[in-house]
Amino acid sequence: KAGVTQTPRYLIKTRGQQVTLSCSPISGHRSVSWYQQTPGQGLQFLFEYFSETQRNKGNFPGRFSGRQFSNSRSEMNVSTLELGDSALYLCASSPGLAGVGTRRETQYFGPGTRLLVL
């Protein structure tokens, strides 16, 4: 089975621009979560999607948004980029099996998208 894939792998943007990152989960997985990783703050949860619905959101400003499509692929968008948005953005997928709950499942991470804001 192919793993979690993320595109693009690297991005350079300037302040004020917006960016869209894409994540394709492992085939059959229905839950997709997004994380931001920075040297100072470590790994921080952004949001989680399941069956095209956002079920959970972390403490990030409204400039960070996301969506999930019917094939479980997910995108996240950051508008009006700031220098502090420079980070490694990781997505993770899990099966989302009925009766198990995503909280009991292993999360599988993609390679990440490295975003640099100048």
Partner 1 sequence: KQEVTQIPAALSVPEGENLVLNCSFTDSAIYNLQWFRQDPGKGLTSLLLIQSSQREQTSGRLNASLDKSSGRSTLYIAASQPGDSATYLCAVPGGTSYGKLTFGQGTILTVHP
Q: Which chain residues interact with partner 1 by CB under 8 A?
A: 4, 6, 31-33, 35, 42-43, 45, 47-50, 55-56, 58, 88, 90, 92, 94, 101-104, 106-112, 114
Q: Which is nearer to partner 1, 58 or 65 (CB)?
A: 58
Q: Smallest distance from the beta carbon of 86 to partner 1, in angstroms? A: 14
Q: Which is nearer to partner 1, 56 or 80 (CB)?
A: 56
SS3 72: coil
Say if CB 9 and CB 111 are below 8 A apart: yes
Q: Smallest distance from the beta carbon of 100 to partner 1, in angstroms? A: 10
Q: Which is nearer to partner 1, 6 or 24 (CB)?
A: 6
Token code pair at residue 7: 């595109």
| Chain centre distance of CA 21 | 8
Stretch (H or E) spanning 49: strand 42-50
Stretch (H or E) spanning 26: none
